A and B are shown apart, each in its own frame.
Chain A
């Protein structure tokens, strides 16, 4: 059977950029920069991009396009018996997309509520009590939050409609969902910069504190930011690149994807910090009190700023949540596509059917996150998916390519078809720097993990979260064993 193909190179690159650029570009990067030396953070960030982001992207694009297989079979071809890591990547990503879709569901709810700025005056209570209807602890599940459940259904129907017909529509949708958020961010920035206090926000974002560069934690944060924002270690990039012909460019496509992702993050910082600067001005609070990241930034702090705006509140709300929505949906369908690619490498099933069952399964899996304890479980599982799942996968990939496949052989293979040639620096990076960096990130994570329970959650809940991610890899081992037997026999 011949593989599905992207329409053209632009479709592939845009889809990869769309997968990499996600909610983290808006709600994580600007805060990381602010917290880690402001403009000075750009130095470790750029260094991390060169020594970990781009090389791991080259490994993943190289594995997919040269092996012409999804994550598990690509790794199996590098070294027999390692395909389970590829299965682990896509199953963990499947778990990830089950709760990522819930964040998109919140965006749908806020998008509709933007029309009347329904949260005005009680932003925190609106999100936690009215929308999430949050319970007191992870054990008090307490039924579904109906707005979130409806949002989740809309999200999964949208994802299904985008992916079920194959790569053609995905490429076309990616063109819109990559360009649209950039235009919307520009609108947010232009509106933000016209508000009082906005320049103060930009100064907080950019003013460098070079003394922070002496702190090892800042460098680890930069490595983490680069790694987690590029959709690495999830199997998506291997899956996407398996649909380009073997003789396609690998290196330049990786450079373009990584630079575009980081460029969006950098730009998003201006949009976010102009609005935060205004919020600080409007509320009279110091900047350090209004700045935040993650869910709090998107669903509490930004709505507060929107409600305080002098004009175009509703329009600004619609633009902001449409930006989040388009960023989120792009990453979400790429994760689903990664899982389906691996599945269809083994099971004889049509794309329509595979898409239907996979979307339905993820919707059902995500039901726990639509309950009143959903936010707790989302936070716990997200913590383990990132730190246990993705880092492990990327570590194994780099070790396999660096030490088993032969990094020189890999470099020559990708150089043959690429517009940018990799020098011997790539060998050093893949063999030593990437494994050492990822192991350092893991050590830091385990050290903090055993210092105190994550987020103050009960230990039993954390054990379930960690157990769920670990069990994905255990299941992967048995699935891979069967899959290899089926394909070879």
Chain B
């Protein structure tokens, strides 16, 4: 594969997956319960 294609591969990986990993790392305890309100996930049927 030509060098220019390798460079774009690295660019895509760093920017897109690096960005994603950075943002996920900034989350405070991912998956924790939401702060307030009905968190049962059940609908409030009327």
- Which of A's residues lie within 8 Å of B, judged by CB? 1-12, 38-40, 42, 46, 165-168, 171, 199, 202-203, 206-208, 244-245, 247-249, 252, 255-256, 259-260, 262-263, 266, 348-352, 419-420
Contact = CB atoms under 8 A, between A and B. Distances in A.
Most buried by B among A7, A38, A167, A202: A7
Contact of A9 (B2, B16, B31): B31
Nearest to A168: B41
Contact of A256 (B4, B8, B24): B24
Given A4-B41, A6-B41, 11 more contacts: A4-B44, A5-B34, A5-B41, A8-B39, A12-B34, A167-B41, A199-B1, A203-B1, A247-B36, A252-B27, A263-B17
A481 to B, nearest CB: 23
B25 to A, nearest CB: 10
A122 B24 CA distance: 46
Contacts of B39: 5-8
Interface in B1-46: 1-2, 4-9, 11-12, 15-17, 19-20, 23-24, 26-28, 30-46
Given A7-B41, A419-B26, A420-B23, A244 B16 contact: no
Contacts of B43: 4, 165-167, 350-351
Contacts of B36: 245, 247
Contact of A10 (B8, B17, B31, B44): B31
Contacts of B40: 5, 7, 168
A203 B33 contact: no
A351 B42 CA distance: 10
B5 A350 contact: no
B31 A206 contact: no
Contacts of A245: 34-37
Given A39-B9, A203-B1, A4 B20 contact: no
Contact of B23 (A12, A256, A350): A256
27 contacts: A1-B44, A2-B38, A3-B37, A5-B34, A8-B33, A9-B27, A9-B32, A9-B34, A11-B41, A39-B4, A39-B9, A42-B8, A42-B12, A168-B40, A203-B2, A206-B5, A207-B5, A245-B34, A245-B37, A247-B36, A248-B35, A249-B27, A259-B16, A259-B23, A350-B43, A419-B26, A420-B23
Contacts of B24: 256
A339 B5 CA distance: 43
A256 B41 CA distance: 22
B16 A206 contact: no
Nearest to A209: B4
Nearest to B34: A245
Contacts of A7: 39-41
* Majority SS at the chain B contact face: loop
A364 to B, nearest CB: 25
Closest 10 CB pairs of A and B: A39-B8, A168-B41, A166-B43, A259-B20, A206-B5, A7-B41, A10-B31, A255-B23, A351-B43, A259-B19
B41 A39 contact: no
A248 B34 contact: yes
Contacts of A420: 23, 26
Contacts of A244: 34
B41 A350 contact: no
Given A39-B4, A244-B34, A351-B43, A206 B9 contact: yes
Contacts of A2: 37-38, 44
Contacts of B27: 9, 249, 252, 256, 419
Given A252-B26, A351-B45, A6 B34 contact: yes
Contacts of B38: 2-5
Most buried by A among B31, B37, B41: B41
A262 B20 CA distance: 10
A8 B31 contact: yes
A2 B17 CA distance: 37
Nearest to B4: A208
Contacts of A247: 35-36
B16 A262 contact: yes
Contacts of A168: 40-42
B35 A39 contact: no
Contacts of A8: 31-34, 39
A163 to B, nearest CB: 10
A248 B41 CA distance: 16
A349 B44 CA distance: 11
Given A42-B11, A208-B4, A350 B45 contact: yes
B18 to A, nearest CB: 9
